[in-house]
Structure 1
């Protein structure tokens, strides 16, 4: 039979030694939690945990790019010399291009001046009078690939070759920036007709787009230059420019 004193013993969790030990465990746990919270939240004021460097620009995908010019200049490029392509003089600029020449001319600056030089070079080299050795690779390589480009090529191939006679070709006489952004340029390139007497001019509205690191020509609607050509008898609003 059990003694009554056995029933008088308190449960172990009410004994002073057990309570003290439990209290010590609680204190240790609380202290550990506080240390973890404080060390994890110490971000130096920038939201990044201590010991973890902030992400670099490369890691976040940000890049630094020099701003491209967007305003069309009001004066002609100063560093231009003129060279003949067939019987037509075309501009070459040390700063605006082209920096690669041969059967084609490419490598133009991503600037309004680069677009202007490209408009002159590409349009002349793509002309019938430049000869098939010039217009065919120029149209194939330096025009945007469109149905109008294919129509232009087909029309020139059908026409064959007929060399121009001396003095019968129009020459570049000036230009107008009709529209310009770093992606698209529309330039009115002015040609002076070779007729005697009162000067006559015609303006080709040429569209270029920046593609694959260079300026590319957009073929005229229907593949016909007449669709972007207009005649004029004066140079009002035109920057006069051409070989002297």
Structure 2
């Protein structure tokens, strides 16, 4: 796995762990309680592309036949202090001027990269939380609840997290669920299941409309049964 280094200031710079639109709820991390709701908006980034929610670019299908084993060839690039994967043929095929990433392949590998990318965006770019809710969430009551969370939430405590493993809990060309494990700065492991649905030419997050949450969280002692995967793997 390779990591991209930037000599110029990182365009994704932000606090390392804030209230995240992916990891939602109350969770003890690094010995403190972190409120993991949807982070507050920052209009300075969305202004870079005007009304970011109105930007519509069709996504290509990527490489549906890509083997999931190719994920080990992914490159990793920082979004704030959280590294996100990219892999030709799996995605993302589009990185927009504000840093938002989308257009993932309709394949098992594409679903894994999408899940990890949404985790990284939600964790590393709180200013993109509303775009995550509006543009990367399956349409319906769940998206409405996520948008309401994005409008109402404030930042939580900071912590540095990195993706360390994944597991495909289920997959079809229409629906998927990917478990993403992350490690905190003090070595604590947490896993979240990211539900996805294929719609409008891309993988979309499926939100529980009763809570506005994307992910169910659990502490784990290790990543047994999962595939090690991340910037330092």
TM-score (norm 2): 0.64
1:29-52 per-residue CA deviation (whole Å, 9 max, x = no partner) reads xxxxxxxxxxxxxxxxxxxxxxxx
Instruction: Report the equivalent of 2:129.
Output: 135
Asked if the contact 1:175/1:187 (under 8 Å) is kept, the reply is yes
Instruction: Report the equivalent of 1:149.
Output: 143
Cα distance change on mapping 1:224 and 1:210 into 2, 3 Å: closer
Instruction: Report the equivalent of 1:218.
Output: 206
User: Which structure has the highest helix share of the two?
Assistant: 1
1:207-229 per-residue CA deviation (whole Å, 9 max, x = no partner) reads 1111121111112461135x611
Q: Distance in 1 between matches of 2:72 and 2:221?
A: 26
1:88-167 mapped onto 2 (5 Å cutoff): 88-102=82-96, 103=98, 104-127=100-123, 129-132=124-127, 134-161=128-155, 165=158
Q: Which has the higher contact order (CA 8 A, sep 6+)?
A: 2
Q: Distance in 2 between matches of 1:76 and 1:187?
A: 16
Instruction: Report the equivalent of 2:3.
Output: none
Asked if the contact 1:187/1:205 (under 8 Å) is kept, the reply is yes
CA RMSD of aligned residues (A): 2.4
Q: Distance in 2 between matches of 1:123 and 1:82?
A: 13
Q: Matched residue of 1:126: which SS?
A: helix
Q: Distance in 1 between matches of 2:110 and 2:179?
A: 15
Instruction: Report the equivalent of 1:4.
Output: none
Asked if the contact 1:175/1:241 (under 8 Å) is kept, the reply is yes
Q: Distance in 1 between matches of 2:140 and 2:184?
A: 30
Structure 1 residues 80-89 or 139-148, which shifts more?
139-148
Q: Distance in 2 between matches of 1:238 and 1:181?
A: 19
TM-score (norm 1): 0.62
Q: Matched residue of 1:77: which SS?
A: helix
Cα distance change on mapping 1:169 and 1:88 into 2, 3 Å: same
User: How many residue pairs end up in the alignment?
Assistant: 167
The structure having more radius of gyration, on CA atoms, is: 1
1:62-77 mapped onto 2 (5 Å cutoff): 73=68, 75=69, 77=71
Q: Distance in 2 between matches of 1:211 and 1:157?
A: 24
1:64-91 per-residue CA deviation (whole Å, 9 max, x = no partner) reads xxxx66x984x46133110111111000
Residue 148 of structure 2 corresponds to residue 171 of structure 1:
no
User: Which structure has the highest strand share of the two?
Assistant: 2
